[in-house]
């Protein structure tokens, strides 16, 4: 049984938070996860977006080259990891569908990210915990508690950068929760310029499930937007 499940929220590499790597190292040391799930949007792929891309940001090729060393550092910290398919993560495949490119011409995530087969991608995922099964997806419904109710089990999702919460509900069968895990982006990057017009802003952090129950781990920032360098328990 998985006693400590770490959920890494949307990283959007290379537009990730500048302190992503030391933050993940500290979390691993503190919580010693026996399973790690990346909730999706591991890469941003801004230049491939179906939305307008910023001309002052790197090209698609440069973005991948910049991202690979960061991916390699994360693989060194977490050699084994489950990753969920996501809207940004799947942009290459979505583009191929638009332009009629057969799958045979495409490379698998592990190949173009240059990671081992211990990193496994899933459309979605169910993991058994001490408090019953938990459903993981990138993001299917803005209200994660409604998602949990529709699935009939506890649920974890990312995608919604400004949502960072745990909500519970109970019925005659037991206690369930919906866990929304925020993000790990550099909110000041040009890739997220759209945030300036939004009422709600990104919340930086991730989460862990300990003995079947969820816990939020916010990245506490100083006035300059940098991590303070310690995990607040």
pLDDT 10s digits, 116-134: 999 999 999 999 999 999 9
What single DSSP character describes residue 14? T
pLDDT band at 105; cut points 50, 70, 90 = low
137 φ, ψ to 5°?
Answer: -150, 165
For residues 217 and 100, the model is more confident at 217
CATH superfamily of 4-218: Metallo-dependent phosphatases (3.60.21.10)
pLDDT on residue 101: 72
pLDDT in tens, 146-201: 999 999 999 999 999 999 999 999 988 889 999 999 999 998 887 777 767 777 78
Q: Taking residues 104-126, what's their average pLDDT? A: 90
Alpha-carbon distances, residue 8 vs 27, 98, 161, 199, 223 (angstroms): 10, 30, 13, 25, 24
For residue 56, the model assigns a pLDDT of 76
| Average pLDDT value for residue range 28-45 | 94
Distance CA 214, CA 205 (A): 13
pTM of the model: 0.92
């Amino acid at each position: 049984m998985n006693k400590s499940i770490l959920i890494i929220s949307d990283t959007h590499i290379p537009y990730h938070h500048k302190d992503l790597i030391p933050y993940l190292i500290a979390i691993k040391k503190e919580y010693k996860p026996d399973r790690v799930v990346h909730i999706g949007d591991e890469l941003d792929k801004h230049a491939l977006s179906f939305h307008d891309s910023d001309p002052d940001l790197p090209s698609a090729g440069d973005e991948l080259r910049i991202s690979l060393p960061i991916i390699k550092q994360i693989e060194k910290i977490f050699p084994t990891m489950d990753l969920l398919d996501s809207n940004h993560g799947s942009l290459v495949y979505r583009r191929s569908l638009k332009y009629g490119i057969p799958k045979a011409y495409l490379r698998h995530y592990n190949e173009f990210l240059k990671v081992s087969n211990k990193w496994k991608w899933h459309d979605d995922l169910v993991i058994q915990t001490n408090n019953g099964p938990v459903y993981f997806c990138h993001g299917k419904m803005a209200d994660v508690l409604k998602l949990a109710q529709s699935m009939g089990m506890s649920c974890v999702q990312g995608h919604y950068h400004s949502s960072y919460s745990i909500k519970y509900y109970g019925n005659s069968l037991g206690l369930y929760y919906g866990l929304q895990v925020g993000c790990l982006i550099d909110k000041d990057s040009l890739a997220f310029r759209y945030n300036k017009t939004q009422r709600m802003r990104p919340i930086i952090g991730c989460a862990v499930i300990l003995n079947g129950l969820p816990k939020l781990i916010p990245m506490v920032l100083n006035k300059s937007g940098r991590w303070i360098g310690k995990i607040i328990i």
